[in-house]
Amino acid sequence: SRSLNLAVIPGDGIGQEVVAQGLKVLSAVLPQDVKLETKEFDFGAKRYHATGETLTEADLDALKKHDAILLGAIGDPSVPSGVLERGFLLKLRFAFDHHVNLRPSKLLPGVATPLAGQPEIDFVVVREGTEGPYTGNGGTIRKGTEHEVATEVSVNTAFGVERVVRDAFARAQARPRKKLTLVHKNNVLTFAGHLWTNVFNKVAEEFPEVATDYIHVDAATIYLVTDPARFDVIVTDNLFGDIITDLAAAVSGGIGVAASGNINPSGEFPSMFEPVHGSAPDIAGQGKADPSATVLSVALLLRHLGHESEAARIEAAVSADLAERVGKPARSTEEIGDALAVRVAG
Ligand code: IPM
Ligand code: MN
């Protein structure tokens, strides 16, 4: 019989609530012969306050033993900005070489968008996850003086860019429209921008069926609002990808339905799946959070591990649930989770 050995990190704030629903739906959708084993980890603000630790080498060793990781959200106003971001989330993404940060955007039927009309939105952003300005390469001199100087160096390697660009081409090739857009800023960032553009054009030769396109990141924010249907697959650097995927979420149903995967395609380390939203301390503990983003992240997790039909069933269930919400009173986190678990089982 098969097994799924999952590391679960509920984290802070609404992370706890939404992860519980994600696991509920996962248990409901898995075939009988797949044995689900979960191990919960207590990372986050509480552990940081109690021990001063965010993520140790021993933690990484323990996480490594799993097929995948499901994360709720990490972050709390009681912890200074940057401590958990760098000390936990980015540390984990870097340690497990999660270089493909996959963020699909699909506007599902009946879901509200701030955009005029009901545009077709169905694209996926492949955000580089281990390089760019996220590497922590920089420094400050003359700190606190009027002459303080801060640098934040963006690191781009031919190896790192090529592997994520190739992954994005393969994803575009597998989709019906077969279109890949490179988003960068090569008119100003002429060093990194040219590296990205050259690598993109070189890898394109291996994928003659994929139509290619280049857009500067500022212009991309316009098109995401005025003509999101033009996008199929987007590949971009870590910071541009961070910014445009929040915008992408905002136009395609909001942060309540935006899912993501931090993927290590080789399988050398477990991949991690998480909603794009944060811990939302303002609504934590009230049962108000929409678990759909986490449930859709579980679908990405299942697809990554080869459980395609179960992933598709979860996506169909979320889609049907969202379509039925129109005009009805809001339900609690748990009620939505229950309804989704019933749908995927039935
Ligand atoms: C995200 C978040 C993180 C990022 C932060 C919390 C480090 O915004 O997952 O998009 O910038 O990647
Ligand atoms: Mn972000």
Q: Which atom in ligand 1 lies closest to the alpha carbon of residue 238? A: 12
163 annotated as a binding-site residue: no
Whole-number pLDDT of residue 110? 87
CB neighbours of residue 159 within 10 Å = 11
Task: Say what the pTM is.
Answer: 0.96
280 annotated as a binding-site residue: yes
Q: Which of 221, 252, 283 is the last residue of a domain?
A: 252
For ligand 2, the distance from its centroid to the CA atom of residue 290, given in whole angstroms, is 18
163 vs 327, more confident? 163
> pLDDT per residue over 243-290, tens digit each?
999 999 999 999 999 999 999 999 999 999 999 999 999 999 999 999
Q: Tell me: pLDDT of 131 over 70.
A: yes
The mean per-residue pLDDT over the stretch 199-213 comes to 98
For residue 216, what is the domain's CATH number?
A: 3.40.718.10
For residue 46, indicate whether it is catalytic: no
For ligand 1, the distance from its centroid to the CA atom of residue 92, given in whole angstroms, is 12
Clarify whether residues 237 and 265 are in a common domain. Answer: no
Clarify whether residues 94 and 191 are in a common domain. Answer: no
Whole-number pLDDT of residue 1? 62
Instruction: Compute the half-sphere exposure of residue 324: CA atoms within 13 Å on the CB side of its CA.
Output: 11
Asked if the structure places residue 177 within a domain, the reply is: yes
> pLDDT per residue over 152-195, tens digit each?
999 999 999 999 999 999 999 999 999 999 999 999 999 999 99
For residue 134, indicate whether it is catalytic: yes
Nearest CA to ligand 1 atom 6: 85
Clarify whether residues 95 and 56 are in a common domain. Answer: yes
Burial status of residue 1 (CB atoms within 10 A of its CB: 0-12, 13-18, 19 or more): exposed
Distance between CA atoms of residues 57 and 129, nearest Å: 20
> pLDDT per residue over 36-62, tens digit each?
999 999 999 999 999 999 999 999 999
Whole-number pLDDT of residue 174? 98
Across the strands, what pairs with 262? 101, 272
What is the percentage of the chain residues whose pLDDT exceeds 70?
100
Clarify whether residues 121 and 241 are in a common domain. Answer: yes
Clarify whether residues 198 and 134 are in a common domain. Answer: yes
Clarify whether residues 218 and 309 are in a common domain. Answer: no
User: Does ipTM top 0.95?
Assistant: yes
